[in-house]
Structures are given as C-alpha cells and as structure tokens.
C-alpha cells in the first residue's frame, strides 16, 4: 500500500527449500503466487481474461510470507465452520488447543473438496501510481465450485496490512491438485471433508 510494487524478493532464492509454503502477489501486482509443499503456482490473467497458472519460481514479489513446515498435524473442522469468517475464528482456537501460540504468526493448510470459493488475481496494467482504490479495481474475480484443493494460509493478529489483508487476520490462497487453478481466496464455503492442518512443531 506504500506504492512500492517492484520485487523485494526473487522467488528463485527459495526454490531449493524443502516443505516450503508461501503466498503473496507477483511484482508490479501482475498476478498471485502460491507455494504448497515447494510446488509453485504463478497465477496470472491472460489478455483474453482467462486464468493462466505457471509452475515456476521465475518471478519477483513485492512482499511474501512463507514458512518451511516438514510435518503437519490434522484437526477436524466442525460442521459449523464453513465460511471465511468461521475459518478466521477457528484457526487460532484450534492452534491454542494443539499447544501452539496463537498470538504468533502461524501457517496452516485446509484440504478437501470445497463447496465454493471466490478468488481473485491482481492484474495491474500499465504503471499508474497505486493506491487502495486502485487495488480493488485491478482484482479480477473468479469462482470455483465443488473442487479439490489445498488452501495455504497464514494467521496473525499483528500483521494486518503487512502480510494479511487490512481487514482480516488470515491471508489464504489455494492450489488445485493439477495446479491449473490458483489464486487469493476472498470468500469460501468449506465442504464436509475439509480438514485443517497445523504445524506439528514450532516453525
């Protein structure tokens, strides 16, 4: 939001890391990056408006949040936890119950066949100065129904506007198993099979 959209990190510097999970935008806000277990997805909007995903580390990012998590522990998601807001509330409670410090930044995963997600790809065209109003305008929205996916998320109560959105304690992206769909989730309806994974040890 400070207008610095150039790459602050070359993703190639993370390419050799094992069990890597990370999310952020592509430099100049021309797409979204999602890394799940060291598999990258660079999601961009093509000139015809179609979503295109490239499995590559060949880009830079203006900001990025990542963690290396070799082992996860799975937690059942109750039937009443289904929306984005529900998940945002549930993650810190589940983390505390698992003995993790929910006041510290926390990576997490959600796996399963989700009923519906609404997601966006930032697609800045040109080089006009950027601000919050422009940020909304460059988001191209898509939705996906009844699809298997891995949701990569980060929770923090202290990093709004830094690596979580300004109005949320969670920042979540996703990848499909074939890595042809990926992006930044803004709304969701979890499926019955959804399961939460938390780090099995301190990250």
CATH (one of 3.30.1330.80, 3.30.1700.10, 3.40.50.720, 3.30.300.350) for 9-199: 3.30.1330.80
Rounded Cα distance between 195 and 133, Å, is 35
Query: Which pLDDT band, with edges at 50, 70 and 90, does 160 fall under?
Result: low
What mean pLDDT is predicted for residues 149-153? 97
> What is the per-residue pLDDT for 118?
97
Question: Does 203 have pLDDT greater than 50?
Answer: no
Work out the percent of the chain whose per-residue pLDDT is above 70.
89
Rounded Cα distance between 178 and 191, Å, is 19
Question: Does 142 have pLDDT greater than 90?
Answer: yes
CA–chain centroid gap for 30, Å, is 16
Question: Does 193 have pLDDT greater than 80?
Answer: yes
Question: Does 8 have pLDDT greater than 70?
Answer: yes
- Structural tokens at position 160: 């709004």
What mean pLDDT is predicted for residues 95-124? 94
Instruction: Say what the pTM is.
Output: 0.92
> What is the per-residue pLDDT for 3?
60
Q: Where are the domains of the chain?
A: 9-199
> What is the per-residue pLDDT for 137?
82
Query: Which pLDDT band, with edges at 50, 70 and 90, does 35 fall under?
Result: very high
């Amino acid at each position: 939001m400070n207008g610095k959209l150039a790459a602050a990190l070359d993703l190639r510097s993370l390419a050799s890391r094992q069990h890597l999970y990370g999310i952020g935008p592509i430099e100049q806000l021309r797409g979204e990056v999602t890394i799940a277990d060291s598999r990258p997805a660079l999601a961009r909007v093509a000139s015809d408006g179609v979503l295109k995903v490239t499995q590559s580390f060949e880009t830079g990012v203006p900001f990025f949040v990542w963690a290396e998590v070799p082992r996860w522990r799975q937690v059942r998601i109750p039937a009443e936890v289904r929306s984005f807001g529900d998940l945002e509330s549930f993650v810190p409670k589940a983390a505390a119950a698992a003995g993790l410090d929910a006041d510290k930044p926390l990576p997490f995963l959600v796996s399963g066949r989700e009923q519906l997600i609404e997601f966006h790809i930032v697609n800045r065209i040109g080089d006009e100065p950027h601000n919050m109003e422009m940020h909304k305008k460059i988001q191209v929205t898509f939705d996906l129904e009844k699809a298997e996916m891995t949701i990569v998320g980060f929770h923090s109560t202290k990093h709004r506007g830094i690596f979580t959105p300004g109005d949320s304690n969670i920042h979540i992206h996703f990848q499909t198993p074939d890595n042809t769909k990926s992006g930044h989730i803004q709304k969701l309806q979890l499926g019955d099979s959804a399961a939460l994974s938390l780090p099995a040890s301190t990250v």
